[in-house]
Structure formats: C-alpha cells, structure tokens
Amino acid sequence: MAKKKTTKKKTTRKTNRVVDKKRDEKTKKKIEALAESVATKALKQKEPNFEIPTRSISNMKYNKKKRILEMGSNTQTRSLFNLGQARKFMQSLLLAKGCRDLIDAEKTLSLRGMYYMSLHTIPGTKEKTFNDQGESDGILEDLEVSLDGLREELHVFAKKRGTMVGNISIVDNGDEIDCRRMGTGGYAIPSICEPNVIQFKDCDADFILHVEKDTVWSRFNEDRFWEKHNCILTEGSGQPPRGVRRMLHRMHKELKLPVYCLLDCDPWGHYIYSVIKQGSINLAFESERMAIPDAQFLGIRANDYERCELSDDVKIDLNDRDITRAKQIAAYPWFEGKRDWQREIKTMLGNGFKMEVESLITKDISYVTEEYVPSRLKEGDFLD
C-alpha cells in the first residue's frame, strides 16, 4: 500500500527524468550478487553472511596528501546466525530487495519512503521489520558501503535541506533554473546533485560563500550580497546534508570556485567546517566526492568579540560538553598540525564563551554583509 502511494507521488513530480541505465545495471548486479551469495551459501549449508566496512572513527584514516578523511579497510561480518545481527541481516536483505525494485521501476524514493516500502509485520509474529525510520536509515548506509554504491545509485534520496542563490544558472532534471532570480526563498538544493540530474549552465560567480543557517542566509540574500560581490550564496541548515556538500564540491571542482564558510564560533561550527573540508566520519567513503580540502573558514573568529567591539550580550557560556568537544576537535589529526586553528580553539576556550553569526547583528542589521564579510574577503583573513 505504502509503496504504491509514494511512488505515485514521485511520478507526478518527475516527468522527463534522465535515467542512467548503465549505472543502474551495475548497481543491480551488485545487489544481485549479494543476494546470490546468501542463497548459494544457504543451499550449500554454509553460514550466510556478508562484509560491511566499519563506519567508525577506529576505521578512519586522514589522508594527508589528499587532505581528506578516508575509510580504512576494516570490515565487520554480518551473519544471520548471530543473535545480535540476525535482525539487521534480515533488514539488509529487505532493503536490498527494495532498492532493486526501485531501480527496476526507474523511480526514486525518499529515506522515509524506503522505510515504509519495506515495513511490514513478520508473518506469525507481532514483530515489525523496522521499529522506526532511524533503523532503516542506518541499514541503508550499511548497504551503501557494502555494495560500494551510493545512495543515489540505489535510487534513494534524503529530505531536501539547504538553499542556494547567486550568479549561476543550472539544469535540474531538464529544467533550467536561474539562481539569480530565486526571490527571497532561493533554490532548494536537492538531495541528489549528480551530473545526470544537475548540470551547470553558465556561471559568472567568483566564489562561494557558505553560511551556517537559513537566518543569516536570508540576511545576505535580502542585501543582494551575491550580486554586489559576484558570488554564490549557499546554506546548509546546520550540518550540511550530502546534497549541499555534493553541490559545493561539484561547483568547487568543476567551476573552480573557492569556498568560504561563515559559521558560528563554537565547536559545532568548527565541526561543520571540518566536514565540509575533510569529510565526515560516518560517510568517509564519500569524502572523495564531497570534501573540499581548500575550503576556508571566514568567521566568526574568537577574537571578533574584541576586534568588532561586540557587546557582552552576545556571549554564550561554553558548557562542559562544548569544552570536551572543542578539545576533541583540536586533537583530530587534520586540526592537530594547524597552528592557527590550535590558537583559534585555545582563544575560544580562553574566552569561555561562544558566539553565533547572528551576534554581529547587534552592531548593525547589515553589519555582517556590508562590513564584516567584505573586509575579511578584502584582507584575505581566513583560517585554513
């Protein structure tokens, strides 16, 4: 039931979709190989299992040359005849089947749609195949790594998040979109930004300014910052989703645009920068396609409180968790050797407070767009 409903909705949305038949065949083969191995092992009375690369910090390597996070070679075996893994094993196969059905139907589904598609009660019990969407999301990520196929290759996408506006026009699934004429809302960056869906048409921008959240982005958009400074303005609603990161990566690589980040002065903001630059721990297998090692950190800086003569009201005390997190970040191998960053985190800890980008509004409504960012860009005062 759920399956029919969701797919119908999707068909109306997507009309002249571009399907990468070749890539789909490849993904299908991988899924079939997985199921085939389970079936063969079962019929031969061997224990059915498959390997999943470990997605944890222990299996993470920082590639100093490429300056990105990479996944190590550790794998864990998921087998049916293990009490702790039996359920996950079953779920993996259910979702693998779901993905194959999607590819066959040449349709895509959201993570939530995928959850509903494979959700049912196991016959003869009261147990459901999935307890919540979180469970299926985790298994899908496992599937991605073990099949060595990305989410989009499995025809699954995440909820849209993140906005874009600026001196560029793109083609999204065949529709031309001029990002200079997006009004106040901006262009919603889709979850899948692969070249078969999105192509860049013409771009006059000189750089990309990525801000942490929507409120700051609106300020910049209203002040037509991108027009004045000839750039592209993006926003990722906190930790940017894969779509935004992929979009940034592609614009950076294909259009040779430098990326500057305007984030909060707190461990959270620092980590967002780290994810944009080096990739995330959880999705290290995608770093190659997502990380932007040349991204620069524009602000807010810990010394801005004095430099910009901000009022006391903008201070937010660091709590214990912030302090531990900041120390953790400072100890990451990709921050460890950077003296500027070590000093930055030290200054923040010394201050004992954090600051949000919005704190600059206390100076003047448009201080951030008219003074702060332009002068940083002019001075070239960034953290690497």
Q: Does residue 4 belong to the site contacting another protein (CB under 8 A)?
A: no
Question: Whole-number minimum distance, CB 380 to another protein, in Å?
Answer: 55
Kindly state whether residue 349 participates in binding another protein, applying the rule CB under 8 A.
no
Smaller CB separation from another protein, 42 or 255? 42
Q: Does 172 bind another protein (CB under 8 A)?
A: no
In whole angstroms, the minimum distance from the beta carbon of 51 to another protein comes to: 17
Q: Footprint of another protein on residues 92-111 (CB under 8 A)?
A: 93-94, 96-97, 100-101
The correct pick among 19, 122, 255, 331 for binding another protein (CB under 8 A) is: 122
The residue annotated as part of the active site, out of 62, 115, 116, 273, is 116
- By CB under 8 A, the residues from 247 to 286 that bind another protein are none
* Calpha distance 60→274 (Å, rounded): 14
Q: Draw the binding track, 123-152, toward another protein (x: CB under 8 A; -: no contact).
A: xxxxx-x-----------------------
Shorter beta-carbon distance to another protein: residue 35 or 182? 35
Judged by CB under 8 A, the residue of 25, 36, 132, 254 near another protein is 36
- Give the residue with the Cβ less far from another protein, 96 or 179: 96
**Segment interacting with another protein, rule: CB under 8 A, options 36-44, 51-59, 316-324, 367-375:** 36-44
> Which range touches another protein (CB under 8 A), out of 63-71, 86-94, 279-287, 311-319?
86-94
Known catalytic membership, residue 273 = no
Mapping DSSP onto H, E and C, the string for the chain reads CHHHHHHHHHHHHCCCCCCCHHHHHHHHHHHHHHHHHHHHHHHCCCCCEEEEECCCHHHEEEECCCCEEEECCCEEEEECCCCCCHHHHHHHHHHHHHHHHHHHHCCCEEHHHHHHHCCCECCCCCCECCCCHHHHHHHHHHHHHHHCCCCHHHCEECCCCCEEEECEEEEECCEEEECCCCCCCCEECCCCCCCCCEEEEEECCCEEEEECCHHHHHHHHHCCHHHHHCEEEEECCCCCCHHHHHHHHHHHHHCCCCEEEECCECHHHHHHHHHHHHCCCCCHHHHHHHCCCCCEEEECCCCHHHHCCCCHHHCEECCHHHHHHHHHHHHCHHHHCCHHHHHHHHHHHHHCEEECHHHHHHCCCCHHHHHHHHHHHHHCCCEC
Residue whose CB is less far from another protein, 47 or 204: 47
Total residues found in the chain within this entry: 384
Q: Is position 19 an interface residue for another protein (rule: CB under 8 A)?
A: no
Does 7 interact with another protein (rule: CB under 8 A)? no
Q: Which of 3, 6, 48, 359 binds another protein (CB under 8 A)?
A: 48
Q: What residues make contact with another protein under the rule CB under 8 A?
A: 31-32, 34-36, 38-39, 42-43, 45, 47-48, 80-81, 83, 86-87, 89-90, 93-94, 96-97, 100-101, 122-127, 129
The catalytic site residues sit at 116
